[in-house]
Amino acid sequence: MAKTLGLLGRKLGMTRIFADDGTAMPVTIIAAGPCPVLQVKTTEKEGYNALQVGFDAVPERKLTKPAKGHQAKADKGFYRLLKEFPLDAVDGYEVGQDITVSIFARGEKVKVTGTSKGKGFQGVMKRYNFKGLKASHGAEKVHRSAGSIGTNTEPSRVFKGKKMAGHMGDERVTLPAVEIVDVRPEENLIVVKGQVPGGKNGVVMIRKAG
C-alpha cells in the first residue's frame, strides 16, 4: 500500500459547475482540515513512520483524561477524530504543524474514503439488481424474490457469499482516482469531480493517490 499524506474532511454536499465550453460537471465540496499534527511517529521509537493528525474540534470536557493528556502535548486544542497517515519519511514535520488543503493541487487525482449511506435491510432487486421473477402466469407473491438458492443433497448447504437479501450500505468505500477540480486554501475547501461516499456532513479521508 502506498504511503501517502492526506487530510480528514467533511462532505458539505454536491453541486455543479460549468466548464469553459459550457459543459455542466457534477462536483462534491469537501471542507478539509486544517488538521494539526498531534504526534510524529518514527521507526526508532514506534517501529514505523507516520503522522497522527486531528480533526473536528470538541470541548475539552468531552474527552477522557488520557485523550486530553495525549492531545495537550501539541497545544492545538482537542479533537474528536484522530487519524494516522503512514509515510516513508517524516522529516520536516513536527508536532503542532497544520496540514492544510494546500498539499493538493488542481487536476491531481486523489483517493477518497468514506462510509456509504446505510440503506437498512433490502431485497435482492435493490441490493444486487436482480431481475425478479415472473409477473404473470401463476406467479404469486414472488415477484421481487431471489428465486431458488440452488442446493440439493450435495452440497446440502448454501455457499458463503451467496447474493441474498440483507443489510445494505453503511460500509467503508474508497474511490481510488478522484479528480480535484479546485482547491481553495483560504476557505479550507476542496472541490472534486463527481460523487464521494457518504451523506451530507459525513467524514471523509482524502489521500494522495501515490
Residue 51 belongs to a domain:
yes
Based on the structure, what is the number of domains in the chain? 2
83 and 21 within one domain? yes
Report the candidate in 180, 204, 195, 8 with the shortest Cα–Cα distance to residue 104: 180
What is the pTM assigned to this prediction? 0.85
134 and 45 within one domain? no
User: What are the average pLDDT values for consecutive 10-residue runs of the chain, which has 210 residues?
Assistant: 85 92 94 93 93 94 94 93 93 92 94 96 97 90 90 89 95 95 94 95 91
Grid coordinates of 133: 421473477
Helix (H) or strand (E) holding 118: strand 118-122
pLDDT of 115: 96
- How many Cβ atoms sit within 10 Å of the Cβ of residue 182? 14
Grid coordinates of 127: 441490493
Residue 179 belongs to a domain:
yes
84 and 12 within one domain? yes
Q: What are phi and psi of 185, to 5 degrees?
A: -60, -35
142 and 50 within one domain? no
179 and 163 within one domain? no
pLDDT of 93: 92
82 and 92 within one domain? yes
152 and 191 within one domain? no
Report the candidate in 136, 116, 113, 141 with the shortest Cα–Cα distance to residue 207: 113
User: Residue for cell digits 476557505?
Assistant: 187
Residue 52 belongs to a domain:
yes
Which distant-in-sequence residues (6+ apart) come within 8 Å of 71 by Cβ? 38, 54, 63, 77, 78, 79
Residue 56 belongs to a domain:
yes
Residue 1 belongs to a domain:
no
Residue 32 belongs to a domain:
yes
Q: What CATH number is given to the structural domain containing 34?
A: 2.40.30.10
pLDDT of 20: 82
